Amino acid sequence: MSREILAHFSSCDPVMAALAGAVGPYAPETDDCHPFQALAQAIAHQQLNGIAANTILKRLVAAYGAGPFPSPQWILDTPAERLRAAGFSGAKVAALKDLAAQTLTAVVPERAALLDLPDEAIIERLTQVRGIGRWTVEMLLIFRLGRPDVLPVDDFGVRAGFRAAYGLKSLPHPKALAAWGERWKPYRSAAAWYLWRALELKRAGTLPVPGERIRLPRVKRRRRVARAAALKRRVLKRRAPKRAPPARRAKRSAARRVRRSRSRAARK
């Protein structure tokens, strides 16, 4: 597989090919645990470093005490206070309980059932769970299900690795990265893995220097344009002369009519 991946990158992207050659064979760490366990672990890791998250998970397993990982029914039946005592925040407790409920109703199915579904169908299905977003499911696709063609364009590490490997001054926009990544198909998971490794090579001073500068596809940033238009409207509104209230304008108009009529009468 690694030879096929390297051959493909060599034919479509010299920078990625050089990065893959410097890193070595594609070797992601994967396991085949139940999707419930994978997503529960992902919830624990949200907004925490790995050491803190693993400590919380160890407390959770110790509180369960009946196996290597708590069952969905146990999570559902356990009082929120006990889960919070393990270190989960209130939002994460709510997410865990929703995950457990969705697992018991088979929205989150067995791993074997997911293997038969396409990537986007799995993303659409699992993001129904509270607290589970696209990025979390993409990590499950790559590292739990071994899907070969997933590119998590919103991942900071992937974007930072791309910036480092391709010699860019700023992080690529996710849409621009997605457009560039079309050339990596059908091995975009491997490309993401190599981009994560690019940061390690940069820290070690062994990252290959790109042979040429690249130009990413231009992306229309609608939100930025909308914000600029709104700012322009506010500026113009501040600069416009302030008009008197309607009642005051009507009173002034009546006074002007009276003055004009008196002026005409005086001339006669």
Instruction: Give catalytic residues, as residue numbers.
Output: 155
Question: How far is it, in rounded angstroms, from Cα 172 to Cα 153?
Answer: 9
Listed residue (22, 21, 11, 15) closest to 168, CA to CA: 15
Question: How far is it, in rounded angstroms, from Cα 107 to Cα 122?
Answer: 10
Give the end-to-end CA distance of the chain in Å, rounded to a whole number.
Answer: 106
> What tokens were used for 26?
């594609």
Number of other CB atoms surrounding residue 104 within 10 Å: 15
Cα 191 off chain centre by: 17
Listed residue (107, 149, 139, 141) closest to 125, CA to CA: 107
**253-260 LR contacts (CB < 8 Å, sep 24+):** none
Question: How far is it, in rounded angstroms, from Cα 18 to Cα 212?
Answer: 12
Question: How far is it, in rounded angstroms, from Cα 62 to Cα 52?
Answer: 16
